[in-house]
Structure 1
């Protein structure tokens, strides 16, 4: 019976989940963790500890499915976040779910954004400490072991050999007891729940090796195997630490989304009084006050006030959007300069921010369904090693050998097999991650390399991805004095486009006493003359602004005026990344399909697509639209790499088969992406695809080597041809072999240069802000 079947049978044997005696005494009300959907179904999320492989994921999902009222249970393997949905007729029972998970061998708690950081940090610290202890013990014990090996073929006396064995025991036994805790605890937890996990054969091999080593030392035998046990723990802890580091990064998206959400709002009463209330008390029709610097707590319509809002969550627009009475605003938008009175149209649970979070959560849950190479290898490894060791022990006993000899050969089987397989994937990941880091790419997920290797379609967002994140002053000649004064005023502005004036004018100091006018611009009085920078209306420059827009319809315009002098209009836009054309041409030359999916205006997206030679593009897309397009591509058999940076790209980044985001992206997008890239160049898109293909080849080579090695080594160990000492040496040798092969991933990850025939001419700067 497989572990998932055992877990299912165990849960079905305890079907009375609602009984009072099955619920742990939690001492708190968990109703706050349950969200009720518009259709009446309830949903709660849990942070689950102890999930190590895909088999654990299946055990949990199949184990919770038979519970009364549970409609579905889906575990996100990337961040160990379990989502449980109850039917409309069922009463949500959080303690029963926690009790069920405990019976299955997992500890859990209701998920609270921001509440896992301390637990994650503590687990990472524990693993690093265990790795340090195992590494220190391994180095010292190997020095003693080499002395014993040399002494066994020279003139070492039995007394000295026994002394060296006991010194090894003094070092290894406490070190193994401490360093092996992550594996021992996992094995015990699984056995209590009736499951055999990946930790069990590791624990069994280490414990039996240590016990046999102590027995051999007591009997004055020639060999002891303390070094093999502690080295096995050291190598396996390397992989566990790397996995924990990758996993810790993937859990960040919930905290990042929580940072956009307001917990309270300022409610404006009918009499004009203001009252601070929890977000849950807001209802459609309520009037709320949003002060400068605050985030909008709920979707609504502006009744009074003007301001600039950062609404990149909706459109990807990096420039602040001017809003006034009648304009729609969305939860999570950051209010810039003016106070707004907003009438709520969608409150907590129904806002666009909630919808984006739901899209992201479902995309991550769907993404975690895929089994990667390491999971497949794990599923084969556990029964293979168990069966081999058990058959060896039983076979030798049946052949008339004593228990001592039979146990030695069984231990040899346990020792000889796991290390090459355990390092086959992590070794390549570490080396390839280092090579990509040197090229400005930071991997954000343990499955990233395998996913990049399978990509055949690349989808780009436009703003901040194909274009540079910072705006630049566009064309034209300007009076140096006007540009200098405008730039000094721009230093006092929070408008994103004002940075273009500062960059164009060079180093300067802001005017003293400059003040920002809500939703309009910045003013200052210098030498008795009022200087203004901001909108055309604010500067009385409507004609100049209209002329600038007519000359460049895709540019944003910032206006400047000094007293009664002639105003100036500065067109500002975002240029393409310097190598965007070469990268797109390189992708096409390699046979990849390239598209643009953007929330920006059609004219702006079309201009970029035309200059880059991208035939397929769509504009004005919402986060839902982007996910729908990506899912359609996936259903057509494509493997999509999404490259984006905005908050509105985060669900699409999570839904795509693979994803890449610039390090300047919104924090939510960074957390959703499989990798981040640094700098102004778009070349990392080519780098990750080349590195992924190379890494996958090396992973497969290592797995095949591990399989061949085990096919040869396990029978030799089972037939008594390998002592545990030789098995430990073979294990170390196989580990060195797969590590040496993995080092080939350090080679350049960039593909060959784009052929001249495919290389377009350098494009002109492109307008657009989204």
Structure 2
């Protein structure tokens, strides 16, 4: 059984545990079905579910891909998982956090929309004034502009005002302090001039300034918001509960958090291991990819240690818990990821670091301008107007757009190449990388076994093995089924023997495909591969398997080495499996047989040595390392948790996406630095002109807007043609 198919098996106990009572004798269960895509899916699913015994109602939400089912408690939980799997859908129990929306992003988008609408209307009124409106008409337009600007600043300006106030209360400053001062002073002066019927008011300057700044802030937030935590995704791998065997032989289904060390637990094929445990009875194969990254099943027998979160594949087991859920392997992985994500969040953007110098310079320039003009002219109104113009003309709008605009354009360029960007700051970190650490299984290789072709394989025997193997989900059986057209043989019976292989009968002949000792009998000694085809206990054919190399792996490694990066392979797989791949690719540094905590520790050691690492991995066991690395990339075929943990996800199978992403990041970094240089040059020219009194607040706002437009235009140069030229 594959991991994917096992995930769709929802036991009655799990459904009962995850449901809630909605009425007397009536319970409700929410399921997530990612494959829902159209109205036909809705009809098909609802019709199938309402026919199940005990189901009174089934409703599908297309937008959230969620299914809500009401069922009668007296008849027990219905087979919802089996029904949906039979229709061809993957299904898992719905978690409430999946539908959670980010209120902060919605608040910023609404603030941007309000500021944009108000800016257009105030500009329209200003055009009438510029066209010659005077007297009472001009005053009316000023009052209308004030009436629009005041609620706009109160609503949309909160994004900056609250941040500035928090900084000032701690005795600090940030980029939002000069922004807030410029906007509020421009509005206050304009309101004063409107009350005193002056010819000029600058409501348009304050609102349009706010609008442009909100564009940059929203783009920046969208990029940051894509860096979602993977901890909850990892938590989804935890079992909801387990069947505990009491001393008197009675069986009780307990929630995972209620399990204690020493409890005896029974597992069926397809169940996840709820806590760290040891096998008491039974033999089976375990999908231990969560711990080792190895895609091939691991054989377990009495005495074998099991880790929480791994998957029981083929046989029933009786196990004894050796740790509490909070001390289990899965809980440790979640703690590792939380700690690594906390460390990553301390990364400061280039623009944030520039604020250290920028803010005091702007404040000082505006204050000195005001004091100088007051001393020189004694006209406080004109002096304050010049100071406001200085604040507006030097407002960090271009600086605020410099990073997010380039990152949005770069993200689109990467998307066109099949690479998804989850965190804008990752492009900055990718430029700093000097060491590339690669996982083996699923990254350098495709993570699935392929039949090793050689002249010793008889095509007729391979066809028989393909026919028998097509009846199983075991990775080796599937590899044989894919290696040849199945023989046209109608076996009387094919059965899978958990942990051993497949047995097929036709007449008096018994064919076995699987472990050598089982297929040939313990008394037979023969040097053959681990998987054999036998008929009536006699060897017919031996098969050997290898992990298929990912397309573009050699080219990607060559490109990275040519650019001067240090390369390492770090894998949870055995050294015997890793070394041949490293030798084929010419990578000398190899770390093999590492558990997730050991991978994280190795990355931490590299960081202490001053190395900036790019981690490229795909497995469940790579998730903490993907988060702990300086920056990380995962293939689209990676486990859900691996994709959530990574900063980049490449959707194509070709590994050359990795050097391509690094090339895009370097070009984006160059454009960002150009934008910063332009912003600095703009301020060097505009600041003296504003201090000299030749710039009104409105002209300052237009100049600031013009600088923002140039920054955006420079970011748009990040096109395929520009990339080829660079």
Same fold (TM over 0.5): yes
Match of 1:74 in 2: none
Match of 1:258 in 2: 235
Q: Is the 8 Å Cα contact of residues 286 and 343 (structure 1) preserved in structure 2? A: yes
5 Å-filtered alignment, 1:396-407, equals 396-407=373-384
Does residue 1:654 correspond to 2:662, yes or no? no
Q: Is the 8 Å Cα contact of residues 687 and 751 (structure 1) preserved in structure 2? A: no
- Given the alignment, which residue of 373, 376, 383 partners 2:350? 373
Match of 1:414 in 2: 391
| Residue 450 (structure 1) shift | 1.4
| Residue 217 (structure 1) shift | 4.2
Query: After the TM superposition, which of the residue ranges 205-214 and 671-680 deviates more from structure 2?
Result: 205-214
Q: Is the 8 Å Cα contact of residues 295 and 448 (structure 2) preserved in structure 1? A: no
Q: Is the 8 Å Cα contact of residues 653 and 673 (structure 1) preserved in structure 2? A: yes
RMSD, aligned α-carbons: 3.8
Aligned-partner Cα distance in 1 for 2:124–2:534: 79
Match of 1:639 in 2: 612
Aligned-partner Cα distance in 1 for 2:525–2:273: 30
| Residue 628 (structure 1) shift | 3.4
| Residue 655 (structure 1) shift | 2.5
Match of 2:204 in 1: 227
Flag the 1:541–1:683 CA change in 2: closer, same or farther, 3 A: farther
Q: Is the 8 Å Cα contact of residues 541 and 568 (structure 1) preserved in structure 2? A: no
Does residue 1:287 correspond to 2:264, yes or no? yes
Structure 1: runs of 5+ lacking an equivalent = 1-112, 550-555, 754-770
5 Å-filtered alignment, 1:602-641, equals 602-641=575-614
Match of 2:113 in 1: 132
- Given the alignment, which residue of 171, 178, 183 partners 1:206? 183
Aligned-partner Cα distance in 2 for 1:512–1:148: 93
Q: Is the 8 Å Cα contact of residues 164 and 176 (structure 2) preserved in structure 1? A: yes
Match of 1:438 in 2: 416
Equivalent pairs counted in the alignment come to: 630
5 Å-filtered alignment, 1:339-350, equals 339-350=316-327
Cα shift readout 1:694-742 (whole Å, capped 9, x = no counterpart): 2222222222222232233234323422100110011011112222222
The 3-state SS of whatever aligns with 2:190 is helix
| Residue 167 (structure 1) shift | 5.3
Flag the 1:117–1:564 CA change in 2: closer, same or farther, 3 A: closer
Match of 1:277 in 2: 254
Does residue 1:122 correspond to 2:126, yes or no? no
Match of 2:307 in 1: 330
Match of 1:475 in 2: 453
Flag the 1:485–1:450 CA change in 2: closer, same or farther, 3 A: same
Aligned-partner Cα distance in 2 for 1:318–1:173: 61
Match of 2:8 in 1: none
Match of 1:12 in 2: none
Aligned-partner Cα distance in 2 for 1:183–1:224: 22
The 3-state SS of whatever aligns with 1:744 is coil
Aligned-partner Cα distance in 1 for 2:135–2:503: 92
Aligned-partner Cα distance in 2 for 1:214–1:507: 85
Does residue 1:733 correspond to 2:706, yes or no? yes
Cα shift readout 1:189-238 (whole Å, capped 9, x = no counterpart): 55566654543433333233333334444555444333333333333333
- Given the alignment, which residue of 704, 707, 719 partners 1:746? 719
TM-score, normalised to structure 2's length? 0.77
The 3-state SS of whatever aligns with 1:745 is coil
- Given the alignment, which residue of 280, 283, 286 partners 1:309? 286
Q: Is the 8 Å Cα contact of residues 541 and 567 (structure 1) preserved in structure 2? A: no
Match of 2:50 in 1: none
| Residue 365 (structure 1) shift | 3.1
TM-score, normalised to structure 1's length? 0.73
Aligned-partner Cα distance in 1 for 2:424–2:190: 36
- Given the alignment, which residue of 667, 687, 703 partners 2:660? 687
Q: Is the 8 Å Cα contact of residues 493 and 521 (structure 1) preserved in structure 2? A: no
5 Å-filtered alignment, 1:649-728, equals 649-728=622-701
Flag the 1:350–1:667 CA change in 2: closer, same or farther, 3 A: same
Flag the 1:517–1:213 CA change in 2: closer, same or farther, 3 A: farther
Aligned-partner Cα distance in 1 for 2:342–2:523: 53
| Residue 463 (structure 1) shift | 0.8
Aligned-partner Cα distance in 2 for 1:163–1:202: 28
Aligned-partner Cα distance in 2 for 1:357–1:173: 47
The 3-state SS of whatever aligns with 1:252 is coil
| Residue 692 (structure 1) shift | 2.2
Q: Is the 8 Å Cα contact of residues 160 and 180 (structure 2) preserved in structure 1? A: yes
Aligned-partner Cα distance in 2 for 1:618–1:491: 36
Does residue 1:354 correspond to 2:327, yes or no? no
Aligned-partner Cα distance in 1 for 2:354–2:441: 41
Does residue 1:426 correspond to 2:399, yes or no? no
Match of 2:225 in 1: 248
Q: Is the 8 Å Cα contact of residues 436 and 749 (structure 1) preserved in structure 2? A: no
Q: Is the 8 Å Cα contact of residues 128 and 241 (structure 1) preserved in structure 2? A: yes
Q: Is the 8 Å Cα contact of residues 434 and 746 (structure 1) preserved in structure 2? A: no
